[in-house]
Amino acid sequence: MTTKPKPETGLHKGLTSYGDTAFSLFLRKAFIKAAGYSDDALSRPIVGITNTHSDYNPCHGNVPDLIDSVKRGVLLAGALPMVFPTISIAESFAHPTSMFLRNLMAMDTEEMIRSQPMDSVVVIGGCDKTLPAQLMAIASVDLPAIVLPTGPMLVGNYKGEVLGACTDCRRFWAQHRAGTIDVAETELISGRLCPSVGTCSVMGTASTMACIVEALGLALPLSAAAPAVHADRRRIAEATGKRAAEIAISATPTPCALITAASIRNASIILQAIGGSTNALIHLIAIANRAGVPFDLKAFDQLSREVPVLLNLKPSGAHYMEHFHHAGGLPALLRELAPLLDTTAPTIAGQTIAEIIADAEYVSNQDVIRTLASPLKQEGAMAILHGNLAPDSAVIKHSAASPHLLQHTGRAVVFDGIEDMAARIDSPDLDVNPDDVLVLRNAGPKGAPGMPEAGYLPIPLKLARQGVKDMVRISDARMSGTAFGTIVLHIAPEAAIGGPLAIVRTGDNIALDVEARGIDLLIEPSELARRLAAWQASPPHREIPTRGYARLFEDHVLQADQGCDFDFLLRDGRVKPDPSTASD
């Protein structure tokens, strides 16, 4: 391998502007030598490594270990590792919600990669919004890049039962609300749900995004599921560092060479087959947009009819991420889905998907990765709905819904926002029945703001105590990927900008028909139009932020069906043509 940098590589890249490039390089070297670097080290290709470690983010608690391993790999391959900090976002510590901050992290990561000299970059992330932000960033910069997920946490145990965050968090909390678990027991359980650092151990958003990263070909094989504290995770990190050095030298492939119509379709198939998080759909749209690849919601919905759920993980199934790793991880799942995938798609490993499948481990006597002949569910994880309530779309994760509610008409019980819901949902005076449809509005991208994971409306206390476990719930909010229930999400356009959800009244009837992909308010079109006109005539509907990031978010965030990115961050003018319509 040659280690002599060409001009415009390594330390020569992106010189600070002083009006004298030779002086800029001289000054840069003088300052970096303060850290003890030799001329030999400074002549190497540079691999940037993001540091998203934060005391607020236990999902990234292993990042220092992973950085050590990545650096070892980079050095073994003869390049120079340079670690730099970016924003870190932890789900349960982000106010008002992590989604509000995702685009900020994407901008921060993008600009830090652009502004510092590096020939390739390793982005290390894990908690829900971090991998999406990093993927959006690397697609925009389009510098050779490789992704390293932090990996899932280990499973916990309680009273002889295997459990994990956060599907079981919700199950136990529902039992607490129903009065079968007291406060003291919830304290005990909170010490058992997360027994190690790493990301949630079920198929929540973090695990879903890690699988999508691997399916897109942006991470090495087995990167998605190896537990955060497993030695395999560190070996993958070392191999990631070595590969990052190789792509730094070869200057290829770039992320946009890998994020193509074929790999987005492969990732969509994986999203359906793993029973993935609905949040991941928003992120995948945003990532595709950043790479200039059209994302077709209709085609995505069609996949939901063609791709069965094969992965038997909570919340759709029974097992946890570490079991997925022991069953062969994503390469073994890719093998089962091979007839549906474009296996010619290249990956950052230098192999095609077909070559990765050929190397996949075969684990007999396991029930985690099902076959096409024996799926967990015949249809994919999530369906795209349309109707007069969701003209631009809504989504339902029907793999985690109650089958008897998938076709349901009920009376609307409307909450005007999250505060209204919190104030009234448990009131003994709330007029609500098990067959009603709970409606939450003003919880979308602009409404809340940041589209919080409030779509998992709790079952009203008086019904929970009667043993009601599920009801149809609809909103313009998101839902944690770890949650379950018959829940319609991401209604677009959102109520806060005058989507039809804004004019639903308690007592109206709402029809959900997942088979027909419909979500409708059962009122006359003329009445719908009259109510919408009246809504538009009565602003202000909410307080508009006046300054700072909140104002930027308000002015530029797109709706859920467009990925909730900022309009000015899309890859304008670089949309790749739809292959089915492109001419020679």
Contacting residues toward ligand FES, per CB under 6 A = 59, 90-92, 127-128, 199-200, 204, 206
Q: Please state the closest distance from residue 200 (CB atom) to ligand FES, in A.
A: 3
- Give CA torsion, residues 115, 116, 121, 123, to 10 deg: -70
**Torsion of the alpha carbons at 354, 356, 361 and 364, rounded to the nearest 10:** -30
Give the nearer residue to ligand FES in terms of CB position, either 199 or 347: 199
How many angstroms separate the first and last alpha carbons of the chain?
39
- Our CB check for ligand FES shows the closer of 46 and 90 to be 90
We find the least distance from the C-beta atom of residue 477 to ligand FES, in angstroms, to be: 17
Give me the least distance between CB of 454 and ligand FES, in Å please: 16
The residue among 107 and 200 lying less far from ligand FES, judged by its C-beta, is 200
Tell me the DSSP string of 284-308.
HHHHHHHHT----HHHHHHHHHH--
Q: Which is nearer to ligand FES, 204 or 450 (CB)?
A: 204
Taking the least distance from each CB to ligand FES, the nearer of 204 and 292 is 204
Residue keyed to tokens 């994407």: 106
Give min distance, CB of 213 to ligand FES, in A: 14
Name residues whose C-beta falls within 8 Å of residue 206's C-beta, 6 or more positions apart in sequence.
Answer: 59, 126, 127, 128, 131, 149, 152, 199, 200, 481
Q: Cα angle vertex 184, ends 182, 189, to 5°?
A: 95
Whether omega before 391 lies within 30 degrees of 0, making that bond cis, reads no
By C-beta, is 60 or 290 nearer to ligand FES? Answer: 60
Who's near 38: CB < 8 A, 6+ residues apart? none
Give the nearer residue to ligand FES in terms of CB position, either 98 or 289.
98
- For ligand FES, the closer CB: 275 or 460: 275
Whole-number Å distance between alpha carbons of 145 and 109: 12
Least distance in angstroms from the C-beta of 341 to ligand FES: 26
Choice between 203 and 503, CB closer to ligand FES: 203
Q: Which residue has the tokens 């004298």?
A: 20
> CA distances (Å), 159 to each of 58, 139, 179, 184, in order?
25, 46, 19, 15
Nearest distance from C-beta of residue 323 to ligand FES, angstroms = 17
H or E segment and range at residue 181: none
- We find the least distance from the C-beta atom of residue 55 to ligand FES, in angstroms, to be 14
Shortest CB 59 distance to ligand FES, Å: 3
CA geometry: angle 495, 496, 501, nearest 5 deg? 10
Distance CA 491, CA 486 (A): 14
- Smallest gap from Cβ 130 to ligand FES, in A, equals 8
Tell me the C-alpha to C-alpha distance, in Å, between residue 160 and each of 156, 157, 163, 192: 10, 6, 9, 12
